[in-house]
């Protein structure tokens, strides 16, 4: 066996997964286990695919999830590197499982539902999944930390990874560092009335309540970002509810009509039963839920499960391309 870490980002902030300290701890852990350590550099491709895509998505009115784009990239590279070394399989630290169905590899939920990462892996190609092993899939994170500590591994006390590993100071500051400058625009209510002003629609997220800087007689939430008009649409919480969601860039590994499926619309949200799926051109789907979901965010992933196994997914589209609010 040999060990490898993919370096994705050149930053030196210790909260980043690719900080010099994190790389050093990975090297020390490999040495402690008697493994040859390799550092695989993928910084250029990561910046072009993940980082540039992250910035462009925010400016376009979406809320991207960079992990969904990163995992297919780096896992395919690790499989490629394993081929260079003549190694058949690649084991990673994901809290998920590999499930074989009809001769094809799928992702299954990990046993530790508090750390389950299957949602982040829906875009990994089946041919890559077939080469992967997830030894932590049946483990809990506290138990893994305890075993690592008993083996005196340097990564035993590794901090939890950041939501956006390349933006440890927050995505707003990161966007500013990439040239996304303030752009004043209107905050409008559902009746079209202007109720305030913002400094850039990308500084807000769907469902956000605090920090709007407006006076209202009842709690007010961001309902939508309108990049074409540089507007924020705000309103009451009940207006966030949606029973339909439109998806683009769909991967279908057995969705059928939606019968028996659940769909997860945010990383830490509960999966909801699917009522039915309607198919449209250009790899688009319209998903009808059995119960409303608060604020599906364009750019986030909708991941479908059948018996805790991922059978497809897609990217939630902008509001003017999809989900109706309220009930059908």
The whole domain housing 93 covers 2-157
| Residue 246's CATH number | 2.40.30.10
Residues 229 and 257 in one domain: no
Contact 95, 140 (CB under 8 A): no
Q: Is residue 237 within 8 Å of residue 294, measured between CB atoms?
A: yes
User: Quick one: what percent of the chain has pLDDT higher than 70?
Assistant: 94
pLDDT value of position 321:
38
Same domain, 101 and 134: yes
Q: Do 203 and 219 fall into the same domain?
A: yes
**Average pLDDT of span 109-135:** 96
Per-residue model confidence (pLDDT) at position 278: 94
CATH of the domain at 117: 3.40.50.620
Give the C-alpha distances (Å, rounded to integers) separating 295 from 147, 241, 254: 40, 6, 26
Q: Is the pLDDT of residue 43 over 80?
A: yes
Mean pLDDT of the region 261-285: 92
Q: How far apart are CA 202 and CA 308, in angstroms?
A: 33
What residues contact 316, with CB distance under 8 A and at least 6 apart? 245, 246, 247, 265, 296, 297, 298, 299, 300, 301, 302, 322, 323
Tell me the pLDDT band of 13, cut-offs 50, 70 and 90. Answer: confident
Burial annotation 127-137 (CB, 10 A radius, 16+ → b, else e) = ebbebbebebb
Q: Are residues 74 and 109 in the same domain?
A: yes
| Domain annotation covers residue 109 | yes
Task: Examine the domain organization and report whether 308 and 269 are in the same domain.
Answer: yes
> Is pLDDT of 128 > 80?
yes
Instruction: For residues 109 and 43, state if they share a domain.
Output: yes
Same domain, 226 and 258: no
In this structure, the answer to whether residues 193 and 144 fall within a common structural domain is no
Reported confidence tier of residue 322, pLDDT bands at 50, 70, 90:
very low
pLDDT of residue 217: 84
Helix (H) or strand (E) holding 69: helix 66-85
Q: Report whether pLDDT(276) > 90.
A: yes
Total domains present in the chain: 3
Contact 312, 250 (CB under 8 A): yes
120: Cβ contacts below 8 Å, ≥ 6 apart = 65, 67, 68, 71, 267
Do the domain assignments include residue 170? no
Q: Is the per-residue pLDDT at 320 higher than 50?
A: no
Average pLDDT score over residue span 247-270: 94
Q: Look at residue 260 and tell me if it is in a domain.
A: yes
Residue 323, pLDDT score: 36
Q: Which of 271-275's residues contact partners 24+ apart within 8 Å by CB, and which partners?
A: 271/305, 274/304
User: Are 144 and 112 part of one and the same domain?
Assistant: yes
pTM (2 d.p.): 0.92
- Residue where one domain finishes, among candidates 157, 174, 198: 157
Asked if residue 53 has pLDDT above 50, the reply is yes
- 75 plus 126 within the same structural domain: yes
Residue 167 lies in a domain: no
Spatial neighbors of 146 by CB under 8 A, at least 6 apart, are: none
What is the predicted pLDDT for the residue at 319?
44
Name the band, by pLDDT with cuts 50, 70 and 90, for residue 20: confident
pLDDT digits (tens, 9 = 90+) for 129-168: 999 999 999 999 999 999 999 988 888 877 776 668 899 8
pLDDT digits (tens, 9 = 90+) for 186-216: 999 999 999 999 999 999 999 999 999 998 8
What mean pLDDT, rounded, does the chain reach?
91
Q: Tell me, yes or no, whether 163 lies in a domain.
A: no
Residues 119 and 62 in one domain: yes
Asked if the structure places residue 304 within a domain, the reply is: yes
Q: Which residues are catalytic?
A: 70, 165
Does residue 327 have a pLDDT over 50?
A: no
């Amino acid at each position: 066996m040999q060990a490898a870490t993919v370096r994705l980002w050149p930053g030196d902030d210790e909260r980043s997964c690719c900080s010099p300290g994190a790389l050093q701890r990975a090297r020390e852990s490999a040495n402690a286990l008697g493994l040859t350590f390799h550092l695989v550099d993928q910084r250029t491709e990561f910046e072009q695919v993940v980082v540039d895509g992250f910035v462009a998505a925010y400016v376009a009115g979406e809320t991207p999830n960079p992990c969904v784009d990163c995992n297919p990239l780096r896992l395919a590279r690790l499989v490629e590197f394993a081929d260079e070394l003549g190694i058949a399989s690649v084991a990673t630290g994901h809290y998920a499982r590999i499930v074989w169905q009809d001769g094809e590899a799928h992702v299954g939920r990990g046993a530790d539902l508090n750390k389950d990462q299957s949602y982040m892996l829906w875009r990994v190609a089946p041919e890559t999944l077939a080469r992967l092993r997830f030894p932590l899939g049946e483990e809990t994170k506290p138990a893994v930390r305890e075993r690592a500590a008993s083996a005196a591994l340097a990564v035993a006390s590794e901090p939890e990874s950041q939501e956006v590993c390349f933006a440890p100071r927050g995505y707003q500051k990161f966007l500013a560092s990439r040239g996304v400058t303030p752009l004043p625009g209107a905050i409008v209510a559902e009746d079209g009335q202007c109720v305030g002003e913002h400094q850039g629609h990308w500084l807000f997220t769907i469902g956000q309540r605090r920090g709007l800087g407006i006076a209202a007689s009842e709690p007010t939430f961001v309902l939508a970002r309108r990049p074409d008009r540089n507007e924020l649409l705000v309103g009451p919480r009940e207006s966030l509810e949606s029973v339909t969601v439109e998806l683009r860039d769909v991967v279908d590994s057995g969705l059928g009509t939606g019968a028996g499926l659940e769909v997860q619309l945010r990383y830490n949200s509960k999966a909801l039963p699917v009522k039915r799926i309607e198919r449209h051109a250009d790899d688009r789907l319209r998903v009808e839920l059995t119960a409303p979901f608060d604020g599906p965010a364009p750019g986030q992933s909708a991941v479908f499960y059948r018996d805790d196994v991922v059978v497809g997914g897609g990217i939630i589209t902008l509001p003017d391309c999809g989900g109706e609010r309220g009930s059908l």
